[in-house]
Structure 1
Amino acid sequence: MKRRNLYIGVTLAILSITACKPTLDEFTPSAGTKADFSKYIAIGNSLSAGFADGGLYLEGQKVAFPLLIAEQLQKVGGGEFKSPFFSEEQSNGSGYIRLKALVNGQPVTEQVADKLAYRSATPKLLTKYTEPINNLGVPGMRMDMAFAPGIGTAAGNMYFERLLPDGTPPTMDYFTYSTSQNHTFFTFSLGNNDALGWATNGGVVKINPKTEKPDPTTVLTEVSTFTGLLNKYVTELTTGDRKGVLATIPDVTAVPYFTTVTRELLIAGVNAANPTAGVKDIYIKTKNGTRAATNADYFILPFSSAGLLGRTDIPDEKTGVVNPYPYGLDPRNGVGDSYVLDVTEAAQVVARVNDFNKAIKSVAASKGLAVADVNAFLTSVKNGIRIDGLAVSAKYITGNGFSLDGIHLTPIGNALMANVFIDAINKTYGAQVPRLNISDFRGVKLP
Structure 2
Amino acid sequence: MKNYKYLGLFLLTLGFTSCNVNNELDAIQEEIVDQVQLDANGLDFSKYISIGASFTAGYTDGAMFKAAQENSFPNILAGKFGTEFNQPLMADNIGGLVYGGTAVQPPRFYFDGAGPARLPATPTTELTAVLSGPFNNFGAPGAKSFHLGVAGYGQLNPYFGRMASSPGASVMGDALAQSPTFFTLSEIGGNDVLGYALSGGSGIDQTGNFDPSSYGGSDITDPNVFAQVFSGMVTALTANGAKGVVANVPYITDLANFTTVPYNAIPLDAATAGQLNGAFAAYNGGLQQILDLKNANLLPAQVLPLLVNYDQAEVDRRQVNFVAGQNAVLMLDENLSNLTPINPGLTNMRQATADDLLLLASSTVLGTTVGGNPQLINGVSVPLADEWVLTPEEQTAIKTATDSYNTTIGAVAASNSNIALVDFKGVLSEASTGIMFDNYTMTTSLVTGGLVSLDGVHLTARGYALMANKILAAMDIEFGSNFTTATNGLAKAGDYPTNYSPLLR
**What TM-score comes out, normalization by structure 2 length?**
0.72
| Structure 1 residue 215: Cα displacement | 6.7
What's the CA shift for 1:436?
1.0
TM-superposition CA deviations, 1:59-118 (whole Å, max 9, x none): 1111000000110111xxxx3111112345x7645353333522xxx3151334335202
Tell me the CA shift for residue 425 of structure 1. Answer: 0.9
Measured against aligned partners, the alpha-carbon deviations of 1:205-262 in whole angstroms (never above 9, x if no partner) come to: 29xxxxxx97732110000100011111111011022110001111101110001011
Counterpart of 1:67, as a letter, is: N
TM-fit CA distance, 1:148? 2.6
In structure 2, the residue matched to 1:19 is: none
Which residue identity lines up with residue 37 of structure 1 in the other structure? F
Q: What is residue 402 of structure 1 aligned with on the other side?
A: 452
Q: Which residue of 2 aligns with 1:356?
A: 405
**Are 1:420 and 2:428 counterparts?**
no
Tell me which residue corresponds to 2:223: 223
Name the residue aligned to 2:148. Answer: 146
> Which stretch of structure 1 is more off in the superposition, 24-33 or 413-422?
24-33
The CA deviation at 1:177 is 2.2
The yes-or-no answer on 1:191 pairing with 2:169 is: no
Q: 1:38 aligns with which of 20, 24, 46?
A: 46
Q: 1:140 to 1:108 in 2, by over 3 A?
A: closer
1:274 positional shift: 7.4
Gaps (5+ residues) in structure 1? Answer: 1-12, 15-22, 119-124, 207-212, 315-321
1:200 to partner: Cα distance: 0.8
Q: Which amino acid aligns with 2:362?
A: F
Match 2:378 to one of 321, 327, 334: 327
Gapped regions of structure 2 (runs ≥ 5): 3-31, 98-105, 205-212, 275-322, 336-347, 484-488
Match of 2:77 among 64, 69, 74: 69
The separation in 2 between residues aligned to 1:87 and 1:27, in whole angstroms, is 39
The alignment partner of 2:108 has SS state of strand
In the alignment, which of 311, 324, 328 is matched to residue 369 of structure 2?
A: 311
CA distance change for structure 1 residues 169 and 312 in 2, over 3 Å: closer, same or farther? closer
SS of match in other structure, 1:232: helix
Tell me which structure has the larger Cα radius of gyration. 2
Rate the CA distance shift 1:350–1:273 in 2: closer, same or farther, 3 A. farther
CA distance in 1, matches of 2:229, 2:250: 19
3-state secondary structure, aligned to 2:465? helix
Letter in 2 for 1:386: M
TM-score by length of 1: 0.81
Q: Quick one: which of 47, 56, 77 aligns to 2:55? A: 47
Correspondence list, 1:78-227, <5 A: 79-87=83-91, 92-94=95-97, 95-99=106-110, 101-102=112-113, 106-107=114-115, 109-118=117-126, 125-153=127-155, 156-165=156-165, 168-170=166-168, 172-189=169-186, 190-205=188-203, 216-227=216-227
Partner of 2:352: 293
Deviations 1:28-52 (A, max 9, x none): 211102x321111000101000111
Partner letter of residue 367 of structure 1? N
Q: Shift of the alpha carbon at 1:282?
A: 1.5
CA contact (8 A) 2:94 2:107 kept: no
Letter in 2 for 1:342: T
Structure 2: distance between partners of 1:235 and 1:379: 29
Worse-matched range after superposition: 237-246 or 287-296: 287-296
Q: Which residue of 2 aligns with 1:260?
A: 260
* Number of the residue aligned with 1:209: none
- Aligned twin of 1:411: 461
2:247 aligned with 1:247, yes or no?
yes
User: Which residue in the other structure is 1:20 paired with?
Assistant: none
> Alignment partner of 2:148: what SS?
helix
| Higher RCO by CA contacts (8 Å cutoff, separation 6 or greater) | 1
2:153 is paired with a residue whose SS is coil
Distance of aligned partners of 1:115 and 1:446 in 2 relative to their CA distance in 1, 3 Å threshold: closer
CA shift for structure 1 position 310: 5.4
- What SS class does the counterpart of residue 217 from structure 1 fall into? coil
Determine if contact 2:94/2:121 at 8 Å carries over to the other structure. Answer: no
CA–CA separation in structure 1 for the residues paired with 2:218 and 2:428: 23
Asked whether the equivalents of residues 46 and 140 of structure 1 are also in contact (C-alpha less than 8 Å), the reply is yes
Cα RMSD (Å): 2.7
Contact 1:250–1:378 (CA<8 Å) still a contact in 2? yes
Deviation at 1:138, TM superposition (A): 0.9
Question: Can you list the C-alpha shifts for 1:109-157, whole angstroms capped at 9, x where unaligned?
Answer: 1334335202xxxxxx24321221111111111102123333212xx10
Percent identical residues: 30
Are the equivalent residues in 2 in contact too, given 1:400–1:412 (CA < 8 A)? yes
Aligned equivalents of 2:75 and 2:116: distance in 1? 31
Amino acid at match of 1:52: T
Alpha-carbon distance in 2 for matches of 1:130, 1:45: 20
The alpha carbon displacement at 1:361 in A equals: 0.8
Q: Could you report, residue by residue, the CA deviation over 1:258-289 in whole angstroms, capped at 9, with x for unpaired residues?
A: 0101113x124x56997987363322112223
Q: Counterpart amino acid of 1:360?
A: I
Does the CA contact (< 8 Å) of 1:310 and 1:329 recur in 2?
no
Distance in 2 between the 1:340 and 1:138 partners? 27
Is the CA contact (8 Å cut-off) linking 1:56 and 1:92 kept in structure 2? Answer: yes
- Contact residue 451 and residue 460 of structure 2 kept, 8 A: yes
Partners of 2:427 and 2:459 lie apart in 1 by: 14
